[in-house]
Chains A and B, each alone.
Chain A
Amino acid sequence: MPIALENVSYTYAPGTPWEHVALSEVTVRIEDGDFLGIVGPTGSGKSTLVQHMNGLLFPSDGRVVVDGDEVGSDRKALRDLRRKVGMVFQYPEHQLFEETVWADIAFGPKNLDLDEEEIARRVRWASESVGLPEDILERSPFELSGGQMRRVAIAGVLAMQGSVLILDEPTSGLDPRGRASLVEQLRALNQAGMTMVMVSHSMEDMALLVNRIVVLSEGRVALAGTKREVFTQLEALETLSLDVPRVTQVMLRLRGEGVPVPLDVMTVNEGIDALAAALRGEKDHASQ
């Protein structure tokens, strides 16, 4: 189910003193199985952009095409769209409301009018996918830790079993361990065939997860391309005050010192390999 945003512009509160152009002429395409990352400084329009992907916001100008159909205001089509495109908002733990974790995760599937058995199956699958222990399901979501609440909220969206999942800063505010395990779980979901879109400040998370990146700046697409294409545009990223992953920074320094390493290195393991190869190359060179 490809999602295409074509020349999308969005203005908040048009015609009032609070008028604010949040997006201008943004074009983005998401293919099936993609893992798209969206980065940009605070206020650059990331959250506004992703809300167009499941019909929570409609473009002031331009259009959004999902699966060949333009997203409009038809109620039934919208319900369908929101079922297929799951959306995890920033700080999703603030949306929990049920008495038990189970009931909260089941809220979405219940709105789909599924039978009890299917609901139970989905709740179990969703809570396993985000690593929630079984004994938590009967507890109140309000007595869990922040990290666990975040997982419950993500499970609540997963349980809709859409084919696309959008996450707005899913790892912000998590401790390093919680972050690492969530990153793993998101990767597993994508590998199982779910199309993913992730908004994040963390270039490290981007390096680990996504295959394509869109960089927003003041509501416009500043850079776009594969992860490697984007992360090697160091000057452009710097002018937007965005970091590159730490490993990439190390490679950059090594290059400055004359070590012939590649720049498109995203993870620590790739870094080790690249460094080893470079050192081996030097040794071979010396022994010749």
Chain B
Amino acid sequence: MLRNSVTIGQYLPGNSLVHRLDPRTKILGVLGYVVILFLIRDFAGYGMMAVITVLTAAVARLPLKMLVRGLRPVLFIIVLTVTLNAVMTPGELLWSVGPFGVTREGLFQAAIMACRLLLLIITTSMLTLTTAPIDLTDGLEYLMGPFRRIGVPAHELAMMMTIALRFIPTLLDEAERIMKAQMARGADFQSGGFIQRAKNMVPLLVPLFVSAFRRADDLALAMEARCYRGGEGRSRFKILKLGPSDLAAGLVMITGFFAALVV
């Protein structure tokens, strides 16, 4: 099932400590995590980062198996990046395959990229898994607030993000249904060369686009019918409040990040 294999953008309701954290804490935490991921270049550091991820997953009661399964749809990108890094990096040649040479530096670079991508994807999907989309947007909007003065449409951006997140599963379901319907008419999405396969996608992509636009239209109409006109003067149902657990979580994260940087 398409829908269930993609964990990015899904929310798994729960009542763990991580679920109850303020969305801003979690967003800043993930942001910090990503920055650190790209700062460090040694495996002890990545090990430390992995420990942070695994501990957070345990506290949030997210099964690791599910997180790993969520990698499947992006596996291709990971493999491609790792391979390219392995063969494109100049340096001391270890062995060569045809015109390509795998270098010591290339292998190192590839391993670094693999660690980064894996941790990046797992950790960001943990953010959406433990945060309701509405909280996520509220948090984003709040965090982008200061940039409004320089013309950043904070509310609109946040709203767009929520809607996009909200519709990922819907579109995946839709894609699966259309795919099955065309398969029932003899369409083949699996065989053929690259060009043939791309051509075979037309019966899937056209209806999918049509339905996405239709949904967008319906949604816009429904929002306008309820007098939505952007963030100006809009009041909030839920006010974000930082609590002691946010302070604690923040301290733990900062300690973890420092540890990853210095080991």
The chain A residues found within 8 Å of chain B, CB to CB, are 12-13, 15-18, 51, 54, 56, 79, 82-83, 86-87, 89, 92, 94-97, 107-108, 111-112, 142, 156-157, 160
Contacts and interface: CB of A to CB of B under 8 A. Distances in A.
B197 interface: no
A94 B183 CA distance: 14
Contacts, number: 67
Nearest to B209: A97
A108 B186 contact: yes
A77 to B, nearest CB: 14
Dominant SS among interface residues on chain B: helix
Interface of B: 1, 4, 12, 63, 65-66, 69, 174, 177-178, 180-188, 202-203, 206-207, 210-211
Contacts of A92: 181
Nearest to B129: A17
Given A107-B182, A112-B186, 17 more contacts: A12-B4, A16-B69, A17-B12, A17-B63, A51-B180, A56-B180, A56-B183, A83-B186, A89-B177, A94-B177, A94-B178, A95-B207, A97-B202, A97-B207, A107-B185, A156-B185, A157-B184
B183 A82 contact: yes
B180 A94 contact: no
Contact of A95 (B65, B178, B186, B202): B178
Nearest to B178: A95
A107 B66 CA distance: 38
A157 B185 CA distance: 6
Contacts of A83: 186
A92 to B, nearest CB: 7
A86 B181 CA distance: 10
B178 A160 contact: no
A18 B186 contact: no
Contacts of B4: 12-13, 16, 18
Contacts of B203: 95, 97, 107
A108 B183 contact: no
A125 B142 CA distance: 61
A62 B180 CA distance: 22
A229 to B, nearest CB: 31
Contacts of A142: 210
Contacts of B202: 97
11 contacts: A12-B4, A13-B1, A82-B183, A82-B184, A87-B181, A87-B184, A89-B180, A94-B178, A94-B210, A157-B185, A160-B186
A95 B182 contact: yes
Contacts of A95: 178, 181-182, 203, 207
B184 A86 contact: yes
B1 to A, nearest CB: 6
B66 A17 contact: yes
Nearest to B177: A89
Given A89-B180, A94-B178, A97-B207, A16 B185 contact: no
A13 B4 CA distance: 6
Among B181, B186, B203, which residue has the most Cβ atoms of chain A within 10 A?
B181
B186 A79 contact: yes
Nearest to B69: A16
A94 B212 CA distance: 11
A163 B186 CA distance: 15
A15 B65 contact: yes
A108 B185 contact: yes
Contacts of B185: 107-108, 111, 156-157, 160
Contacts of A79: 186
A160 B210 CA distance: 25
A228 B183 CA distance: 36
Contacts of B211: 94
Which of A12, A89, A95, A160: most chain B Cβ within 10 A?
A: A95
A260 B213 CA distance: 57
Contacts of A18: 4
